Amino acid sequence: MHTHVLQNERPELFLATMLAEGTTGMRQMAGSDKLLDARRQSRLEPTGYAPGLLAMPGALLMPFNAKSIADVERLIAEQRRQGADFIKIIDADREVFFAAVDAAHSNGMRIAGHLPPSVTAAEAAAAGMDCIEHLGTGGNVWFQTSSDGAALRTEADHAESGRIPGWLSGLPFADHLFSTDFVQQRVKKMLLNPALLDSAETVALLRRALDSFDEDAAQHLVDAFARHKTWHTPTLVRLRTQYRADDPAYADHPWLSLLSDEDRRDFHATRDRFLDLPADTRATYHDCYDMSVRLVGMMHTAGVPIMAGTDGPSASPGQDLASEFRELAAAGLRPLDVLRSATTVPAAYLNRTHDLGAVDVGFKANFLLLDADPLASADNLSQIAAVIRAGHFIARDEIRSLIDQLVG
C-alpha cells in the first residue's frame, strides 16, 4: 500500500520482484500527467508479471504547486478529471493543507501523505486526513508525544529542516525543478537517506523529544487516530533503512545484486556517510526507529488501521514486504493482524471489500499459495509456492527465472 515502483528506471524488474514477494495489487504513491495518461492507455503493466495497479495520485502537492487555497482547489479538481484515484500531499502551508483535505473530500477523493511541520498529527486526524504515511515524517509526531512538545515545536519552527524554502518554491521554474522526472534523476541520491539532510540542531531537537516521551500524550494521540479512523501506512522498513542504515546486514544484502552498478555505488556511498555520523547522532536515530516500532504497536492496540507498505522496491536494500511483515510483528501485531494489514485492511481502505482482500466466489482471482501456515508466524507469509494473478497460475520458480533474466 505504499510503493514508488513505477518511478524506477527498470519497472519491469522491480514489478516482478514485487510479484515474487506476494504483492498482487499496489497503491502507487506518486503520479504525474504522464503516468495517468499511460494508465488510461493501459501501458503501466508492461508484462503479466506485475501486481495490479489499484490506486495512483496525480502530481504531488508541494509548496511549488500548492502555494494557495485556490491552487489546491484547482489542482485537485484537475487531477480528478485526469483519473487520479487520490491526492497525495507532501508539504504545504497550514491553511493550504486543511483546504486540500476539504477539496479532496469535496471531489470524492481520499488524501494521504506527509504532515507539514505546521500541522500536528492530531490536527490532521481531526481534519479528516485519510492516511498518514511514514508516521508523518520528521519530528512532528515525536513533538506531539513529548511532555515538552510545545516548546520543541516552537524551536523547530526556527531550526533548519529539509523543507523547501518558500522563496525557491515561488520561482517561475519551480514546477519543472520539482517535477517527478527531476526527482527521479536529480534527487534520487538524497532520497536514499533523508536523515543525512538533518542539521545538528534538528538532531538535538529529536533527541530531546525522544528523551521526554510521554506515555499519556502518546496514548492521547493514538486514541485520536482511532477515533477519527486515520489510517496509517508506517513503512517501518523505510524508516529502518533510514535510521538504522549502519546495520551490517545492509552492507551485503542480497538485494544489492539486483541493482545497477551506479545504484550500488550510490547506496554504499550514502551508507558510508551514515557510518561517518557521530556516534551520538546514530544512537538518536536508532532510538527514533525503536520508538517508531513502539508507536505502531500502540496504534494497533488502540484500533488504528495499519496497512503494509515498503516505500520500495528501490535502490535501498531492506525495503521488501517480508521485512515489513517482520517489523510489524515486532511491533506487536499477531500473524493474523499482519496478514490483514496486506489484505482485508487495504481492501476496506480502497472501498473494495466486494472483490479484494479475501478468497471467495466473485472476487478477483489474485491470491497466494503458501508452503506454511501464515497464522502460525508472519514469516510464513513469505513461504510462497505460487502466485495467482488475474486468474493466472505463476509458480515461484517461474517468477525467479524471469527476475534472473531481467537482471542479466
From the candidate CATH numbers 3.40.50.970, 3.20.20.140, 3.90.1200.10, 3.10.180.10, the one assigned to the domain spanning 5-365: 3.20.20.140
Q: Specify the residue for cell string 526527482.
A: 183
DSSP string, 36-87: HHHHHTT-S--SSSS-EEEE-BSSPB-TTT-SSHHHHHHHHHHHHHHT-SEE
Residue 324 and residue 86: Cα distance in Å, rounded? 24
Q: What are residue 197's phi and psi, to 5 degrees? A: -85, -10
Task: Give the residue-averaged pLDDT of 165-171.
Answer: 43
- Quote the cell numbers at residue 385: 509456492
> Is 184 a residue whose pLDDT tops 60?
no
pTM of the model: 0.93
Average pLDDT over residues 298-321: 96
Residue 142: name the closest of 196, 217, 236 by CA: 217
Domains of the chain by residue range = 5-365
What is the pLDDT, as a whole number, of residue 96? 97
- The arithmetic mean of pLDDT across residues 334-354, rounded, is 98
Neighbours of 380 (CB within 10 A): 18
Kindly tell me if the per-residue pLDDT of 43 is higher than 50. Answer: yes
pLDDT of residue 285: 98
Q: pLDDT over 90 for what percent of the chain?
A: 85
Q: Which stretch of 20-29, 52-61, 74-83, 177-186 has the lowest confidence by average pLDDT?
A: 177-186
Q: Write the single-letter amino acid at 136.
A: G
How would residue 171 be classed by pLDDT, with cut points 50, 70 and 90? Answer: very low
Contacts of 188 (CB under 8 A, 6+ apart): 266, 315
> pLDDT grade, residue 139 (50/70/90)?
confident
Mean pLDDT for the chain overall: 92
| 379 closest CA partner among 317, 307, 323, 309 | 323
pLDDT band at 181 (very low <50, low <70, confident <90, very high): low
Query: Which cell numbers in the block locate residue 97?
Result: 493543507
* Residue 322 near residue 382, CB atoms below 8 Å: yes
Whole-angstrom distance, CA of residue 345 vs CA of residue 300:
12
Sort 159 into a burial class: Cβ within 10 Å, 0-12 / 13-18 / 19+.
middle
Q: What share of the chain is helix, strand, coil (3-state, %, to 5)?
A: 55, 10, 35
Residue 177 pLDDT? 52
C-beta of residue 118 within 8 angstroms of C-beta of residue 94:
yes
> 126: which residues sit within 8 A by CB, 6+ positions away?
224, 228
Query: Cβ distance 259 to 270 under 8 Å?
Result: no
pLDDT at residue number 157:
81
What would the pLDDT profile of 245-264 be if each residue is shown by its tens digit?
A: 999 999 999 999 999 999 99
